[in-house]
A and B are shown apart, each in its own frame.
Chain A
Amino acid sequence: MRQGDEAMSKEPIVVYENFSYSYPTTPNALVDIDLKIDRGEVFGVIGPNGAGKSTFCKSLNGLVPHFYGGTVKGRVLVDGMDTLEHTTSELSMKVGLVFQEPETQLSGLALTVEDEVGFGLSMLGFPSEVIRKRTREALEKVGLKGFEKRSPSELSGGEQQRLAIATVLAMEPEIMVLDEPVALLDPIGKSEVLSVVKELAVEGSTIVIAEHEIEELAYFADRILVLNEGRMVSLDDSKRVLSEVEKLKKIGIDPPSVTELAYLLERDLGIKLEYPITLPQALKIFGELMEGG
């Protein structure tokens, strides 16, 4: 690989410099967050409820601290912009945030799916041909082509969440931030939304995703950050982080079932095993183990 390519793909778009944050009523929501996120990276964030995952997501687009108030130490740079020195609306052009409940995201004002997607852009005064083009592209990306004239309120949970993603995509942000986007969906909704996220990941979008569905995250996250009580517990490539079974269990996170199984067998049998984090890896590792035995 050429040196240039390597440098290009490793260009950080987000830089946290010893960032700490306290809500007006909850101190130490984030403590000493110090990390970089590269352009094109899929960055997973895991941790128990209350660990700071949502706060971390909101600190990327400046909602923390601009909307919530509170106190900040250190700083966050998004594409070179210090989030403290820029407004949330300036940052929203760089960072698109998708919430857990699609209702939070959707304006509730638009009568049709296409108006909902174009809503943000029209508020910003984009010309109508740009709005039309971006709306079409965004709906296509989330698999809602043909839904243009439907009412957002009559969509299923999974469809609404994909619409929420489309409204963010239409703004063409540099980074997509998803805060537990499938937590409240049924299995069909979950797989619909996750396949959209995987698709965006394949296309090279920069994605930050907080998620409890670790067995799913294992398939597409490049690196995973583990938060507990506002602090960074681990940050490494997915396989290394998810293989720290004991450490994860201790703070109340279940690694993928297949990873935990490998860990338990290793201990039971006193042998050295490679830890799978996805099903195909597990089939290979356990398959060879059983056939070899």
Chain B
Amino acid sequence: MGEKIIEVKDVWFKYSEEVTALRGVSLEVTQGEKIALIGQNGSGKTTLAKHLNGLLKPTKGEVIVKGMNTKETPTHVITNIVGYVFQNPAHQIFTKSVYEEVAYGPRNQGLSKEEVDERVRMALELVDLSGYEDTHPYDLNYGQMKLLTIASIIAMQPEVYVLDEPTSGQDHMGRRKLVKLIDMLNREGKTVIVITHDMRFVAETSERTILMAKGKIIGDGPTGEILSNTELLKQTAIKPPQVVQLCEGLRERGIELHALTIQEAREILRERLAAS
């Protein structure tokens, strides 16, 4: 087990007197974890995510990032550790070229021109946007814009990535690219937290899943357990991935089968059928 990198302690957050977005949220994130944060729109996922990098500070309770309380630490110190990729790329993009967009972060970190160039090159290569350096961000398609916003965070080399809805607007190829990218970041020891509605993506990328509803965490555990907990998911109208639904249906017919992904199901079924 790695070190504890983020601690959220009984956090409450009010946008206004009337709107309470978080109601006593607590969790711990260990370095190197791959976590999915799921729940309906309005359940508090994005509000929680923005607390992890200090963009929002708790109304009550505290968030500790690498031992630093986000309330008492300058935001830029936290954002250098926890990189947050916005759901809507338009909220993040503000320069006139792909190069500038990705160079902004590392330049602000005080890196030399050569180091900045190297960071940009590497980040664009990872998201498959090499060759687009001079393109205006708004000339990219939506999926590419999302990848660009991820690249601009990669270039800052944070320890934790929080990705808000990375798969929206992506086609299947884009999804596969993201699955690989997350896997690769994780193998380098990075912690990745993904906010998503795409349950197949959750099954393919995350070891741990946190389920939110109405500003509270209502489930937190291994992805397999959370996605097979029909009763829990029903509360949030989330449909598990098709493979999980298939296993559930087969179990009802007396066939004991537990799998999250196509590959898992394939291996189990292959073994059983080959044996018989």
Residues of A with Cβ closer than 8 Å to B?
48-50, 156-157, 183-184, 186-191, 212, 215, 252-254, 256-258, 260-261, 264-265, 268-269, 271, 279, 282-283, 286-287, 289-291, 293
Contact = CB atoms under 8 A, between A and B. Distances in A.
Interface stretch (B52-60, B125-133, B238-246): B238-246
Contact of A289 (B172, B175, B242, B273): B273
Give the dominant DSSP class at B's interface: helix
B169 interface: yes
**Lowest 3 CB-CB distances: which A-B pairs, in order?**
A252-B173, A293-B276, A257-B242
A17 B197 CA distance: 40
A261 B264 CA distance: 10
Nearest to A270: B274
Contacts of A282: 242, 246, 249
B95 interface: no
Classify the interface of chain A: helix, strand, loop or mixed.
Answer: helix
Contact of B40 (A184, A187, A269, A291): A187
Interface string B257-276: 10000100110011011101
B77 to A, nearest CB: 33
Given A183-B168, A187-B237, A265-B269, 14 more contacts: A49-B174, A187-B239, A189-B41, A190-B197, A215-B242, A253-B171, A257-B262, A261-B246, A261-B262, A268-B266, A282-B246, A290-B250, A290-B273, A291-B255
B141 A49 contact: yes
B63 to A, nearest CB: 25
B200 A257 contact: yes
A261 B237 contact: no
A257 B243 contact: yes
User: Looking at A156, A189, A271, A293, which has the most chain B CB atoms within 10 Å of its CB?
Assistant: A293
Contacts of A184: 168-169
Contacts, number: 101
B24 interface: no
Given A48-B171, A49-B174, A264-B266, A257 B141 contact: no
24 contacts: A49-B170, A49-B171, A49-B173, A184-B168, A184-B169, A186-B40, A186-B41, A186-B197, A187-B237, A189-B41, A212-B171, A212-B172, A252-B171, A252-B173, A253-B171, A257-B243, A261-B266, A264-B262, A265-B266, A265-B269, A265-B273, A282-B242, A282-B249, A290-B273
B253 interface: yes
Contacts of B253: 283, 287, 291
B219 interface: no
Nearest to A288: B253
Contact of B172 (A252, A258, A268, A287): A252
Contact of B242 (A187, A256, A287): A256
Contacts of A215: 242
B241 A283 contact: no
Interface of B: 40-41, 141, 143, 168-176, 197, 200, 237-239, 241-243, 245-246, 249-250, 253, 255, 257, 262, 265-266, 269-270, 272-274, 276
Most A C-beta atoms less than 10 A away, residue of B242, B255, B270: B242
A286 B262 contact: no
A253 B176 CA distance: 10
B239 A261 contact: no
With most chain A CB atoms within 10 A of its CB, the pick from B169, B175, B176 is: B169
A290 B255 contact: yes
B41 A156 contact: yes
Q: Which of A191, A268, A286 has the most CB of B within 10 A?
A: A286
Given A191-B237, A279-B242, A286 B173 contact: no
Nearest to B203: A257
A49 B143 CA distance: 8
A269 B250 contact: no
Question: Which one of A49, A184, A287 has the highest number of Cβ atoms from chain B below 10 Å of its Cβ?
Answer: A49
A287 B250 contact: yes
A269 B273 contact: yes
B249 A279 contact: yes
B40 A188 contact: yes
Contact of A48 (B172, B265, B274): B172
Nearest to A278: B242
Contacts of A189: 41
A255 B246 CA distance: 15
A183 B270 contact: no
Nearest to B255: A290
Given A49-B141, A188-B237, A265 B270 contact: yes
Given A48-B173, A49-B141, A286-B250, A293 B262 contact: no
Contacts of A256: 242
B223 to A, nearest CB: 16
Contacts of B255: 287, 290-291
B251 to A, nearest CB: 11
A54 to B, nearest CB: 10
Contact of B246 (A49, A186, A286, A291): A286
